[in-house]
Amino acid sequence: MAVVKTTQTDIDLLARLLRAEGEGEGQQGMLLIGNVGINRIRANCSDFKGLRTVPQMIYQPHAFEAVQKGYFYQKPRERERRLARRAVNGERIWPAKYALWYFRPPGDCPATWYNQPHVGRYKLHCFYQPTGAECENVYNTY
């Protein structure tokens, strides 16, 4: 069962994001990116207060490099749609299980990002999860 309300258009939009942001990281890398996006919708904290839908999350200003830099144009494939559905249905895996941030640095992962601790790396992306009570919703189970 979905942990955030979506339409087929939302699934297609999320699938496009997974492809644009993580295609080079393989299926697990794209699922991790989906985890972060769904976590942002569910968390309602920090920079992500008030996000309630997939489009709001994706088009939040400065949130995703693929959207900002114009390589968010490819059509979703069925592979990415399946991964998007898995993320929407609550499948979360480490290191993005509770992460709200990720990025791809040119070298090693910094110890913190937006004052949040580094929790792990998958291939080229570093993942960061919140600490403290402000973002406790991200830690809730479905």
Could you report the per-residue pLDDT of 43-101, keeping only the tens digit for each? 999 999 999 999 999 999 999 989 988 778 889 999 999 999 999 999 999 999 999 99
Could you report the per-residue pLDDT of 79-88, keeping only the tens digit for each? 999 999 999 9
User: Contact 35/43 with Cβ under 8 angstroms?
Assistant: no
Residue-level length of the chain = 142
Q: State the alpha helices, DSSP H only, in 44-136.
A: 54-58, 65-68, 78-88
Within-domain flag for 2: no
Within-domain flag for 63: yes
User: Contact 41/52 with Cβ under 8 angstroms?
Assistant: yes
pLDDT of residue 3: 94
pTM of the model: 0.95
Residue 142, SS3 per DSSP: coil
Domain residue limits at 127: 8-139
Cα 21–Cα 138–Cα 96 angle in degrees, nearest 5: 35
Domain count, the chain: 1
